[in-house]
Chains A and B, each alone.
Chain A
Amino acid sequence: MSEIIKVSNISKKYNINQQRGGYVALRDVLANVSKSPFRFAKDKAKTIIGKNKKEEFWALKDIDFTVEEGEAVGIIGANGAGKSTLLKILTRITPPTTGEIEMKGSVASLLEVGTGFHPELTGRENIFLNGAILGMRKEEIEKKFDAIVEFSGIGKFIDMPVKRYSSGMYVRLAFSIAAHLEPDILLIDEVLAVGDIEFQKKCLGKLDEVTKKAGRTILFVSHNMGAVKNLCAKTIWLKNGRIKKIGGTKEIIDSYIKNKPNDNLTASNYLQLNDGDFNGKIKFTNISITDGQNSTLINSDSNLKITIEYESDFKQKISDIRILISIFNEHSQRMVYRLDSHGAAITLKETINPSGEIICETGKINLADGKYLAEILILPQKTKNDCLKLNKEFDVVTDISKYNYRLNPDKNVCDHLISYIFRA
């Protein structure tokens, strides 16, 4: 094995005003110059001698790593950590501000599926166009054409303009072209986030085959921890433009998920009770989401265990609290609708301890891999006070090697809590 990618000391700076969007109009520039030519000249001069301080933003800072031939390396990190910027530098779309990268062999990048697809052209024509954009030669596309069509399952629609395709067909065709790329180094960004889950798996399988059998090197950026885990042995964790950690994928993902900030419990995390015997605050100190076995790695067929820690001003037992749990996906669509702690199946508890934890466990969640947000509504049962809303993010990461769980599209995700207990 030899080094195929060597990244040394890469940094990338953006000027904030450049980033703020809004295009510069030549008209405005000319107007400024003619209105106050002296100030313009002064500003220019300042910029040249470097006195004019622009607001700078380092999207990447001092990135160093190497990739061996035939390795698949995942890149993870929160939004804005610099993952995509790193990939854009590696693909030569944008230059770095400092540093140097050395790559041996041919490089292909997949920052989006269907780049350059033209709606007026047929599927057949788009295969050639998109293939060429992704860096394939004409003969190469001709050779792989049948395989691409077969993989996509588009069949007889291949001679129809893609503007008439359903969005599913469109994505499948685009994926299929990408899946047949054969560069020495393949750079992939987040493209698996679209398409139906079955097809995603098919593509992941194909990519896996590509790395393992053909010994290709892959750099894979994704929010989908499951995909990273299945494809990559090594993972780089980026945080605020710097490398936080490099290492074995499992270890990195574990610490990444654990390290997620507790942004959920901040200002208004208490419930005010003003009802006869009960006067005072209940403060919610922590929420954690695990699977049924208390592991932070949640699979598609895990039970979801939500533990809410609380403390209160009370000395004696207090009245029961009602909890409603909803789960939203990344696009803010509600996947799980209000699991009610006081559903019919659960025996009512009259009172709870003044402090302790509330543990709610759901049935199998039946959610595809990805990022989710649990919205937890807490209502004081016997008072008419406002309810309290707490949010907590979690990831669903399925280990395909262990589970062969198939999402059932007809059946909804879990619809009731299987247990609801208190612990002091």
Chain B
Amino acid sequence: MKTIIIKPREKFSILSEIKEIFRFKDLFYFLSWRDIKVRYKQTSIGITWAIFQPFMTMVIFSIFFGNFAKMPSDGVPYPIFVYIGLLIWEFFSSALNNASGSMINNQSIVTKVYFPRLILPISSIITNFVDFLISSVVLVGLMIYYGYTPKLAGLTILPILLLITFMAAIGIGLFLSAINVKYRDVRYILPFFIQILMFLTPVIYPASIAGKYSKILALNPMTGVINAARAAILGTTPINWILLLISAIASFFFLIIGIIFFKRMERYFADVI
């Protein structure tokens, strides 16, 4: 029989935390399932929305930045170029947004039932991943239209890129969700912060535009990811491994900081929320 010991302070070990999350895997599954179900409840609109949003943004960006401003795009048609950036950026920013609101949005559960709180921010990101997969369909369409065949060797790197994105979104999301519980005005600052961050990320311009400063830009995990994703999918430029490595390390760093911060605040969520 399992014995539970409750003490004022619990020692934190990453192993027991992972074990605990695994013990609640069914809850994890049902929470993600709930978010997806609710999001796509009005089926046709839900799915259309996931495609419509990045598609329209792509069209408008292509007209203004591509056509009028003549933004460089590493020799790739601008719509494809910007769509890859948008696809990953949308995933990252909406995941960040969801994760940071997850504690407050599930307030009623947090104050009533025990479970490892880490489940909430992480499971809330799953919906965004589904959105990401759906809107990827448009990219396939664009590639066919512009006659690009993806390099198979390059595609194998995609899971790693997604992993880095996940880590960054979860890390920063955990940090923000914990702050959000304590300071309720954080969520009003967040959209502004995300918007600023988009222009610091090579979504509408190539990373090469920053020249030798691009390494500083890569401290933002999304820089390395988007840059590598373009190179991998289109195969027109080689993958910049140094940028990717900097971004991966930064992303891992964010994850660790996020978890530590979250765990420190976690036990008092129910008192404060």
Interface residues of A (CB under 8 A from B): 14, 18, 23-27, 29, 88-107, 109, 111-112, 115-116, 118, 120-121, 125, 128-129, 132-138, 184
Contact = CB atoms under 8 A, between A and B. Distances in A.
Interface stretch (B49-57, B105-113, B228-236): B105-113
A103 B1 CA distance: 10
Contacts of A103: 3-6
Contacts of A106: 2
B8 A96 contact: yes
A128 B30 contact: yes
6 contacts: A89-B6, A93-B114, A95-B268, A98-B8, A116-B109, A134-B113
B15 to A, nearest CB: 19
A178 to B, nearest CB: 12
B112 A125 contact: no
Given A132-B27, A138-B26, A93 B34 contact: no
Contact of B38 (A90, A107, A118, A135): A118
A16 to B, nearest CB: 13
Interface in B20-42: 26-27, 29-31, 33-34, 37-38, 41
A221 to B, nearest CB: 14
A168 to B, nearest CB: 20
A25 B38 contact: no
B4 A97 contact: no
Listed from nearest, the 9 A-B pairs whose CB atoms lie closest are A26-B183, A132-B30, A101-B6, A23-B184, A92-B114, A25-B185, A103-B4, A93-B270, A115-B112
A135 B119 CA distance: 14
Contact of B8 (A92, A97, A109): A97
A26 B268 CA distance: 18
A405 B4 CA distance: 42
Given A105-B1, A105-B2, A133-B27, A93 B111 contact: yes
Nearest to B272: A18
Contacts of B114: 91-93, 109
Contacts of B4: 92, 101-104, 107
Contacts of B112: 93, 109, 111-112, 115
A381 B9 CA distance: 66
A132 B1 contact: no
B264 interface: no
Given A29-B183, A115-B113, A121 B5 contact: no
Contact of A125 (B6, B37, B115, B179): B37
A132 B6 contact: no
B7 interface: yes
A94 B267 contact: yes
Contact of A101 (B1, B5, B111): B5
A121 B38 contact: yes
A102 B115 CA distance: 18
A121 B183 contact: no
B271 A18 contact: yes
A93 B110 CA distance: 8
Contacts of A129: 30-31, 33-34
Tell me which of B8, B186, B268 has the highest count of chain A C-beta atoms within 10 A of its own C-beta: B8
Interface string B72-99: 0000000000000000000000000000
Contacts of B186: 26
Nearest to B30: A132
Contact of B37 (A94, A121, A135): A121
A336 B145 CA distance: 78
A129 B270 CA distance: 21
Tell me which of A93, A96, A107, A129 has the highest count of chain B C-beta atoms within 10 A of its own C-beta: A93
A137 B271 CA distance: 28
A26 B31 CA distance: 29
Given A104-B3, A132-B30, A138-B29, A95 B183 contact: no
A285 B111 CA distance: 44
B2 A23 contact: no
Nearest to B111: A93
Given A24-B182, A26-B179, 13 more contacts: A27-B185, A89-B6, A93-B270, A94-B270, A95-B10, A100-B5, A101-B4, A103-B4, A105-B1, A106-B2, A115-B109, A120-B41, A136-B26
A100 B270 contact: no
Tell me which of A94, A115, A128 has the highest count of chain B C-beta atoms within 10 A of its own C-beta: A94
A99 B8 contact: yes
A134 B185 CA distance: 31
Nearest to B9: A95
B113 A93 contact: yes
A136 B24 CA distance: 9
Interface string B114-148: 11000000000000000000000000000000000
